[in-house]
């Protein structure tokens, strides 16, 4: 029977057609795609009518007339019915476990005030025992105009720990019970790389930044292996439903890698996962590099480390003090000697490095350290001559440092939605002058840098359409752009497509397998209800994925 999947506005339906057609001149494919704009990402052949897939790889790209030869009695024909198909979108910076946890925990996204925060905490605590933990709040639009405090939480849950992590993951607020359980008092000094915010009376306010969070976070029971498997599987399902075919999974406990591999073998990991493990797992990563091939569903060949904190919680390391906190320049989370030792070892071993840096000082330090490491270990002494190291976020740059990314061959791994969220408060943190180098996608590309685009979910929502919109329109989802948003730093549609397809493939050493729709490559496709390359700007934010294909298999499709 000839099987045809018609991708319509409401659903995918399976239809049977008659047999008896003449045998095709070539081996029939497992599936074929047609009936809508197909953007290949290949400059010499940017759009085609027809794609054929066999055994998980692309075997034909071209016209419908020629592609008909690949249709046989058992071929699944997928009629796009006007939907637009692209190379598989890859989120180059996400946290898969955290995405799963967001679906199962107290989600504080969208909380509009401290009053609402208290109400949400009280509701979550009712009828439960133990620690109340949540994540996702951000205070920048709250009418109170301040961080929450332990007193705010004590008013609704005074008798057991409450721990609420800010959206950026670099700060939290805890109630008095949590501070007491963690042993944090007025006499507790700031840890290296962290800050305990204190009031005029010298007492902790409940706000803890970066490494100061650790004693309180230790109160939250870590999930066991079975729960971790469920959370990872759930996170992958969410990302597939957002239009992603792969993620670059950041700050991963290496013990989760075998769990991911088992999930992939069982068909429960819905997206490809390129892992950057925690720096504490460096030895495990270095010892296992030979295990992976470029087509494997799970690859762990990178290590993530942190140079500074986040802008919203004033942990990002700045060259000059914060505009709204003149006594602070943020936090540097790693010593230069430690960073250089790790970098030189990584060059010798062939481990890719992904370094978190947000502030202009943080980024400059990392670029300086990478430049020194490259000089100390020349290409002929490296396990990988072109290491493709990355700076994760690269949000605030001194304009003098922008050209250094391309000069050093350092990839900028950036998340466009950070700009359209952060630029509501970044002028307060930085002042107008420093916004010249903020979220500077256009300037980086013009200097020849590669930008691997991602979302940083669950810090941000994580939808592919939001990231594409933010990169090309550079307005928030309501269409607003304020003073200092620098619209000239937006990118074109073709460049945005590379940011989420070819450039993440390059950033993970897989440009021969992924990133474009081309013969022989893995059949990963992201399909949206409208053509992201041609619809007006104001329609981009309304785009929705309708099908996600990984290795020729439909891993998610829209309902109803």
pLDDT 10s digits, 322-381: 999 999 999 999 999 999 999 999 999 999 999 999 999 999 999 999 999 999 999 999
- Whether residue 24 is predicted with pLDDT greater than 50 in this model: the reply is no
Are 236 and 267 in contact, with CB atoms under 8 Å apart?
no
Give the position of tokens 């949000």: 395
**What percent of the chain is modeled with pLDDT above 70?**
95
Checking 19-22 for CB contacts under 8 A at 24+ apart, the result is 19/73, 21/73
pLDDT at 560 > cutoff 90 = no
Please state the rounded mean pLDDT for residues 251-257.
98
Give the pLDDT band of residue 167 (cuts 50, 70, 90).
confident
Q: Which of 437, 411, 394 is nearest to 504 (CA)?
A: 411
Mean pLDDT of the chain: 94
pLDDT of residue 13: 33
What are the pLDDT digits (tens) for 450-493? 999 999 999 999 999 999 999 999 999 999 999 999 999 999 99
Given phi > 0 = left and psi -120 to 50 = alpha, else beta, which region is 342? alpha
The predicted-structure confidence for 93-144, as pLDDT tens digits, reads as follows 999 999 999 998 899 989 999 999 999 999 999 989 999 999 999 898 899 9
Encode pLDDT of 520-557 as tens digits: 999 999 999 999 999 999 999 999 999 999 999 999 99
**Percentage of the chain lying above the pLDDT 90 cut:** 92
Contacts of 553 (CB under 8 A, 6+ apart): 56
Q: What is the model's pLDDT at position 19?
A: 44
Is the pLDDT at 436 greater than 80, yes or no?
yes
* pLDDT reported for residue 430: 97
Question: Under a CB-based contact definition with an 8 Å cutoff, are residues 246 and 90 in contact?
Answer: yes
Q: What residues pair up with 302 in beta bridges, in sequence order?
A: 276, 352
pLDDT at 141: 85
pLDDT over threshold 50, residue 404: yes
Q: What local confidence, expressed as pLDDT, does residue 420 receive?
A: 96
Contacts of 483 (CB under 8 A, 6+ apart): 427, 432
pLDDT in tens, 57-75: 999 999 999 999 999 999 9
Q: What ranges in 315-359 are assigned the alpha helix state H?
A: 336-349
4-8, 49-53, 267-271, 319-323: segment of lowest average pLDDT: 4-8
Across the beta sheet with 352-357, what order do the strands follow?
89-94, 244-252, 272-278, 298-306, 352-357, 390-393, 411-414, 451-453
Q: What per-residue confidence (pLDDT) applies to 421?
A: 92
Q: Binning pLDDT at 50, 70 and 90, where does residue 25 land?
A: low
Domains of the chain: 2-82 (2.30.40.10), 90-95+224-554 (3.20.20.140), 132-217 (3.10.310.70)
Closest to 324 (Cα-Cα) out of 407, 174, 427: 427
Q: Is 559 helix (H, G, I), strand (E, B) or coil?
A: coil
Q: Which has the closest alpha carbon to 51: 11, 36, 294, 43?
A: 36
Give me the numbers of helices (H) and strands (E) for the chain, helices first please.
Answer: 19, 24
DSSP string for 379-405: GGGSSSSS---EEEE--B--GGGHHHH
Backbone angles phi, psi at 372, to 5 degrees: -65, -40
Distance CA 316, CA 392 (A): 13
Q: Is the pLDDT of residue 168 over 90?
A: no
Strands 298-306 and 272-278: parallel
What tokens were used for 95? 């946290």
- pLDDT value, residue 407: 98
> What average pLDDT does range 148-175 have in this prediction?
95
Token pair 């991708």 in the structure block, residue: 7
Whole-angstrom Cα distance, residue 47 to residue 60?
13
Query: pLDDT tens digits, residue range 274-309?
Result: 999 999 999 999 999 999 999 999 999 999 999 999
484 phi/psi in degrees, rounded to 5: 90, 5
Question: Tokens at residue 550, please?
Answer: 């990984």
Picking from 249, 250, 252, the residue whose alpha carbon sits closest to that of residue 284 is 252
Those residues with Cβ within 8 angstroms of residue 80's Cβ, 6 or more apart along the chain or in another chain: 7, 33, 34, 35, 36, 38, 527
Dist. CA 53–CA 70, nearest whole Å:
9
What is the b/e burial string over 357-394, where b = at least 16 CB atoms within 10 angstroms of the residue's CB?
bbbbbbbbbbbebbeebbeebeeeebebeebbbbbbbb
Question: How much is the pLDDT for 22?
Answer: 52
pLDDT of residue 105: 87
């Amino acid at each position: 029977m000839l099987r045809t999947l018609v991708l319509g506005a409401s659903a995918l339906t399976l239809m049977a057609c008659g047999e008896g057609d003449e045998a095709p001149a070539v081996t029939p494919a497992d599936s074929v795609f047609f009936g809508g704009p197909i953007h290949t990402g290949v400059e010499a052949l940017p759009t085609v009518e027809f794609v054929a897939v066999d055994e998980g790889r692309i075997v034909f790209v071209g016209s419908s007339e020629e592609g008909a030869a690949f249709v046989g009695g058992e071929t699944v024909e997928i009629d796009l019915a006007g939907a637009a198909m692209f190379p598989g979108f890859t989120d180059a910076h996400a946290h898969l476990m955290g995405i799963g946890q967001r679906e199962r925990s107290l989600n504080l996204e969208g909380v509009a005030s401290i009053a609402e925060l208290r109400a949400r905490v009280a509701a979550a605590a009712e009828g439960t025992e133990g620690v109340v933990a949540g994540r996702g709040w951000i205070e920048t639009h709250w009418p109170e105009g301040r961080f929450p405090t332990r007193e705010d939480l004590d008013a609704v849950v005074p008798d057991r720990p409450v721990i609420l992590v800010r959206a950026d993951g670099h700060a939290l607020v805890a109630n008095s019970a949590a501070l007491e359980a963690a042993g944090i008092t007025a006499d507790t000094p700031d840890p290296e790389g962290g800050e305990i915010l204190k009031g005029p009376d010298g007492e902790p306010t409940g706000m803890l930044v970066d490494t100061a969070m650790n004693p309180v976070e230790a109160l939250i029971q870590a999930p066991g292996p079975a729960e971790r498997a469920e959370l990872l599987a759930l996170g992958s399902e969410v990302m597939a439903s957002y239009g992603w075919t792969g993620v670059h999974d950041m700050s991963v406990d290496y013990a989760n890698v075998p769990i991911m591999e088992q999930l992939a073998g069982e068909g429960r990991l819905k997206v490809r996962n390129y892992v950057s493990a925690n720096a504490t797992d460096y030895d495990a990563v270095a010892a296992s590099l030979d295990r992976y091939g470029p087509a494997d569903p799970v690859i762990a060949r990178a290590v993530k480390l942190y140079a500074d904190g986040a802008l919203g919680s004033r942990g990002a390391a700045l060259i000059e003090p914060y505009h709204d906190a003149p006594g602070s320049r943020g936090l540097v989370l790693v010593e230069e000697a430690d960073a250089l030792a790790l970098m030189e070892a990584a060059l010798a071993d062939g481990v890719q490095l992904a370094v978190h840096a947000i502030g202009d000082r943080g980024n400059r330090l990392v670029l300086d350290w990478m430049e020194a490491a490259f000089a100390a270990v020349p290409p002929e002494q490296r396990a990988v001559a072109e290491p493709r190291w990355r700076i994760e976020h690269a949000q605030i740059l001194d304009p003098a440092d922008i050209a250094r990314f391309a000069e050093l061959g350092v990839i900028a791994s950036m998340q466009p939605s950070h700009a359209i969220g952060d630029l509501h408060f970044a002028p307060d943190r930085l002042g107008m002058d420093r916004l010249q180098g903020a979220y500077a996608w256009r300037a980086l590309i013009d200097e020849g840098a590669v930008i691997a685009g991602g979302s940083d979910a669950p810090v941000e929502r994580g939808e592919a359409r939001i990231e594409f919109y933010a990169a090309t329109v550079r307005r928030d989802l309501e269409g607003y752009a304020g003073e200092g948003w620098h619209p000239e730093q937006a990118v074109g549609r073709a460049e945005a497509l590379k940011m989420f397809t070819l450039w993440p493939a390059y950033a993970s050493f897989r440009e021969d397998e992924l990133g474009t729709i081309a013969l022989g490559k893995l059949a990963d496709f992201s399909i949206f209800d409208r053509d992201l390359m041609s619809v007006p700007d104001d329609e981009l934010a309304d785009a929705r994925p309708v099908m996600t294909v990984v290795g020729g298999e439909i891993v998610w499709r829209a309902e109803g």
